[in-house]
Amino acid sequence: MSTNDRIHILHENDAWTAPLHEALDERGLPYTDWHLAQGYVDTQSVPPTGVFYNRMSASAHTRDHAHAPELTRHVLAWLESHGRRVINNSRALALEVSKVAQYVALDAAGIRTPRTLAAVGRDAVLDAAHKLDQWPFILKPNRGGTGAGVQRIDNEAQLATVLDDPETGPSLDGTWLVQEYIRAFEPAITRCEFIGGEFAYAVRVDTSEGFDLCPADACELPAGREKFEILEGLQNDALLAQYTDFLAANGVEVAALEYIVDGDGRLYTYDVNTNTNYNRRAESRAGRHAMGQLADFLGRELQRQSMRGMAASSG
Kindly state the helix (H) or strand (E) to which residue 245 belongs, with its residue range.
helix 237-249
Ordered domains of the chain (ranges, CATH): 116-180 (3.30.1490.20), 184-290 (3.30.470.20)
> Cis peptide before 30, with omega less than 30 degrees from 0?
no
How much is the pLDDT for 240? 97
How much is the pLDDT for 4? 79
Segment among 10-19, 159-168, 263-272 with least mean pLDDT: 159-168
How much is the pLDDT for 149? 80
* pLDDT reading at 278 higher than 70: yes
Percent of the chain with pLDDT over 90: 82
Percent of the chain with pLDDT over 70: 92
* pLDDT reading at 3 higher than 90: no
* pLDDT reading at 274 higher than 70: yes
How much is the pLDDT for 1? 45
How much is the pLDDT for 219? 47
Q: How far apart are CA 205 and CA 129, in angstroms?
A: 28
* pLDDT reading at 146 higher than 80: no
How much is the pLDDT for 172? 87
